[in-house]
Amino acid sequence: MKGMRSVGILATGSYTPEKVLTNADLEKMVETSDEWIVTRTGIRERRISSEEQASSDLAYEAAKKALAKANISADQLDMIIVATVTPDNMFPSTACLLQEKLGATKAAALDVSAACTGFLYGIAVGSQFIANGMYRYVLVIGVETLSKITNYEDRNTCVLFGDGAGAALLGPVADGFGFLAFELGADGSGGPLLSLPAGGSRIPASRESVEQKLHYISMAGSEVFKFAVRVMNTATETVLEKAGLAKEQIDLLVPHQANLRIIDSAIKRFGLSEEKVVVNLDRYGNMSSASIPVALDEALAEGRLKEGDNVVLVGFGGGLTWGATLLRWSTREA
């Protein structure tokens, strides 16, 4: 768009709790096995937050790292966007709590709720403020403490989820770099397939809602799986088309880390080598909105990204929602 600034990711940061919950640990809790979990999901272990840790605490650790790498102080931030389905409270927003923890006194703050697609929604929203010149620095964080809403008596869901936080500092970059295309989507008719039934205004907290275990994640696994395979591919194809690039020009794919079979379908669809795809769900499980930024931060730490690389971030989640972005990598501020 004429007069719009190019926006990219200037720095990243991530944090995962110390406690590790392995498949062997889960074998002692529910009727499952390491072989069953690995075969169906690719997950071997996940991180679990402590009783004292809330989402804002994890977000704070990831945010500090991103700001330090960019050599940006918290008081330079114009906006903080936190993507989460496990906020510290219904309100105030986790972004406001994080703003206070960081001392980012000049920053506007809001939460985004798009489940596992939350980080992608967050960077799509945040980048617009920079592109139009309203703000210069926007901090976007995907953070989840899913262990707090996971039923560890339900073997179909408890093996999947973990806790963590990933941060990205957005800012202006040179023309031709940064975000080249976004694709966001939603299908509310699929809302019941992946939800937290109670705790809102539809089913307020009550003795009955607690006894019926309605404050835990509810998921129709096979339906979500079919949806995920489809939209991961179509969303990626759409951003490639919008950016005018071919699948052969993808240098790195950073997918939502939910299930290895879903990621494998994308690898085959786009003819990518394993070196061009980031996979860490074996160590972290599904961290919802945190999975993409944590994977991106680890890829950077491993030297898998260089200036000018074409990077696709793609995910799906409850809502149902999906999203993707394609960016030409550069951390050099314009």
The stretch 106-119 carries a mean pLDDT of 98
Catalytic option among 116, 158, 259, 310 = 116
Q: Which CATH number fits the domain that encloses residue 121?
A: 3.40.47.10
What is the pTM for the complete model shown?
A: 0.97
Domain-embedded: residue 29 = yes
Mean residue pLDDT across the chain: 97
**Residue 116 annotated in active site:** yes
Share of the chain above pLDDT 70, in %: 99
Catalytic site residue from 23, 96, 259, 286: 286
What does the pLDDT average to over 28-33?
Answer: 97
The tens digit of pLDDT for each residue in 40-65 reads: 999 999 999 999 999 999 999 999 99
One domain, residues 16 and 142: yes
Same domain, 67 and 39: yes
**Mean pLDDT for the stretch of residues 223-252:** 97
pLDDT, mean of residues 151-178: 97
- Choosing from 155, 172, 189, the residue where a domain stops is 172
One domain, residues 134 and 196: no
194-224 pLDDT, tens per residue?
999 999 999 999 999 999 999 999 999 999 9
* CA-to-CA separations, 316 to 14, 224, 254, 256, 261, in angstroms, rounded: 20, 9, 12, 7, 14
Mean pLDDT of 250-257: 98
CB 217 within 8 A of CB 146: yes
Domain limits for position 234: 179-328
Position 333 in a domain:
no
Helix (H, G, I), strand (E, B) or coil at 108: strand
Tell me whether residue 2 is in a domain: no
pLDDT at residue 2, rounded to an integer: 58
Q: How many domains does the chain have?
A: 2
On the question of pLDDT at 1 being above 60, the answer is no
Residues 317 and 228 in one domain: yes
**Which residue out of 23, 96, 158, 256 is catalytically annotated?**
256
Residues 25 and 44: their CA atoms lie apart, in Å, by: 10
Q: Are residues 155 and 222 in the same domain?
A: no
